[in-house]
């Protein structure tokens, strides 16, 4: 029997927190799930088999980066993104919309889509709902994201409203273009993205528009864009409940370990963030006792592992002193070892949350986590 195209099963709930699985053709995704970011067809400093061995069920690829280099048509000629990067499990691709807004120059936004100049070589490109769906199909994405516009949360409400309405029209065009994708549409899933910044009324309208169209899963967009954790949690107090109960909810671009715990507590099932990989290259390690800056001189002769509780290869075999030395010296191995630890720590945190929800002790888990991690 072939695996289902997309089947979300909730195994247990505890308060608003849920744990379960998403079954897909290329494998099962345990939720709540953290997706390592593989921006340019690589999770930076990590071999794909290591990404898998530390517990990742799915990774994220970036449409914007891949369309510019090496190009979606080229990836397709090379057999698709999975074969190209040697990752045979599910891949979620973003739509490119967010990164066009944050990275590209000379942007021109119309009802049709966005034209922009590449941040790499200045070449001109266009993204629209139809082109974004085509690129994600050429890459062979398992979970495709709708093309949307993400305005800054500090814009006037009228602007945020107009942008949300544009994103909902683009969501319908994304749905239609995805559905016309033949074999790819029959074997992959499409997620809608709720917008509306911090405004409850706009979030309701966005959720209603998305439910009307119908998606396999629903992302909460427009958060983690500088509004701060308090405002993000205040929005997450209502936004997940506006989306269908029986579909996964994905909080895009989040976050710090304490963001993940607070968001799971509020009903989120999926996350992605560059933080563990980027921090791994910058000398910041995440531990159950909080973040640690390994460049700090106090680690210079510390023979202890980065985290006594962590089961990763880095913590089993290398000292804080060695990691300190590698990062001070700019050695590539420093980035590799710390990235592996950070991603392993994130996966261990997700597993601990899944276990706590399954055993209906999530509130106690979250309290213990905050006591140790934040010192509160
Ligand atoms: Zn470790």
Determine the Cα–Cα distance for residues 297 and 258; give it in Å rounded to an integer: 26
In terms of C-beta density within 10 A (0-12 exposed, 13-18 middle, 19 or more buried), how is residue 121 classed? exposed
- Give the closest residue to 188 by CA, choosing from 327, 3, 374: 3
Q: Catalytic residue at 176?
A: no
- Strands (E) across 221-269 are located at 249-251
Which residues have CB atoms below 5 A from the ion given as ligand 1? 310, 312, 314-315, 341
The pLDDT assigned to 155 comes to 87
User: How far is the centre of ligand 1, averaged over its atoms, from the C-alpha of 308 (Å)?
Assistant: 8
The pLDDT assigned to 1 comes to 64
User: How far is the centre of ligand 1, averaged over its atoms, from the C-alpha of 193 (Å)?
Assistant: 34
In terms of C-beta density within 10 A (0-12 exposed, 13-18 middle, 19 or more buried), how is residue 329 classed? exposed
Q: Catalytic residue at 272?
A: yes
Beta bridge partners of 193: 219
The pLDDT assigned to 215 comes to 99
Digits of tens for pLDDT over the chain (376 positions)? 689 999 999 999 999 999 999 999 999 999 999 999 999 999 999 999 999 999 999 999 999 999 999 999 999 999 999 999 999 999 999 999 888 888 888 899 999 999 999 989 999 999 999 999 999 999 999 999 999 998 877 889 999 999 999 999 999 999 999 999 999 999 999 999 999 999 999 999 999 999 999 999 999 999 999 899 999 999 999 999 999 999 999 999 999 999 999 999 999 999 999 999 999 999 999 999 999 999 999 999 999 999 999 999 999 999 999 999 999 999 999 999 999 999 999 999 999 999 999 999 999 999 999 999 999 8
The pLDDT assigned to 151 comes to 83
User: How far is the centre of ligand 1, averaged over its atoms, from the C-alpha of 46 (Å)?
Assistant: 14
Choose, from 57, 259, 269, 272, the residue flagged as catalytic: 272
Reply yes or no: is the peptide bond before residue 209 cis, omega within 30 of 0.
no
User: How far is the centre of ligand 1, averaged over its atoms, from the C-alpha of 277 (Å)?
Assistant: 13
The pLDDT assigned to 45 comes to 97
User: How far is the centre of ligand 1, averaged over its atoms, from the C-alpha of 290 (Å)?
Assistant: 13
User: How far is the centre of ligand 1, averaged over its atoms, from the C-alpha of 58 (Å)?
Assistant: 20
The pLDDT assigned to 330 comes to 97
User: How far is the centre of ligand 1, averaged over its atoms, from the C-alpha of 315 (Å)?
Assistant: 4
Using DSSP's 3-state secondary structure scheme, residue 250 falls into strand
In the block, residue with structure tokens 């001109």 = 124
The pLDDT assigned to 314 comes to 98
- Assign residue 180 a region: left if phi > 0, alpha if psi is -120 to 50, beta otherwise? alpha
Choose, from 94, 148, 216, 269, the residue flagged as catalytic: 94
The pLDDT assigned to 152 comes to 79
């Amino acid at each position: 029997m072939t695996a289902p195209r997309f089947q979300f099963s909730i195994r247990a709930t505890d308060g608003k927190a849920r744990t379960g699985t998403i079954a897909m053709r290329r494998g099962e995704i345990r939720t709540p799930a953290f997706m390592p970011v593989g921006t340019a067809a690589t999770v930076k400093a990590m071999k794909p088999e290591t990404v898998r061995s530390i517990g990742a069920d799915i990774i994220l690829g970036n449409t914007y980066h891949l369309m510019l280099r090496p190009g979606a048509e080229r990836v397709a000629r090379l057999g698709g993104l999975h074969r190209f990067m040697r990752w045979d499990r599910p891949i979620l691709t973003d739509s490119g919309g967010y990164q066009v807004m944050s990275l590209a120059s000379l942007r021109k936004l119309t009802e049709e889509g966005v034209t922009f100049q590449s941040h790499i070589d200045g070449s001109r490109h266009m993204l629209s709902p139809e082109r974004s769906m085509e690129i994600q199909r050429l890459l062979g994405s398992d979970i495709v994201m709708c093309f949307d516009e993400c305005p800054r949360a500090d814009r006037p409400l009228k602007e945020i409203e107009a942008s949300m309405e544009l994103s909902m029209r683009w969501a319908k065009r994304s749905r239609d273009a995805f559905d016309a994708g033949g074999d790819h549409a029959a074997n992959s899933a499409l997620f809608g993205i709720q917008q509306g910044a911090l405004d409850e009324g706009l979030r309701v309208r966005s959720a209603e528009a998305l439910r009307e169209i119908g998606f396999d899963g629903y992302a909460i967009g427009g958060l983690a864009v500088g509004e701060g954790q308090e405002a993000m949690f205040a929005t997450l107090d209502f936004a997940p409940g506006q989306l269908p109960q029986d579909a996964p909810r994905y909080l895009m671009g989040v976050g710090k370990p304490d963001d993940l715990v607070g968001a799971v507590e509020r009903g989120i099932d999926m996350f992605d963030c560059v933080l563990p990989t980027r921090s791994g290259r910058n000398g910041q390690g995440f531990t159950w006792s909080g973040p640690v800056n390994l460049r700090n001189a106090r680690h210079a002769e510390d023979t202890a592992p980065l985290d006594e509780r962590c089961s990763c290869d880095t913590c089993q075999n290398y000292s804080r002193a060695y990691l300190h030395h590698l990062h001070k010296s700019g050695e590539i191995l420093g980035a590799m070892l710390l990235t592996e630890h950070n991603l392993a720590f994130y996966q261990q945190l997700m597993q601990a949350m899944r276990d706590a929800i399954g055993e209906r002790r999530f509130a106690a888990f979250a309290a213990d986590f905050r006591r140790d991690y934040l010192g509160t």
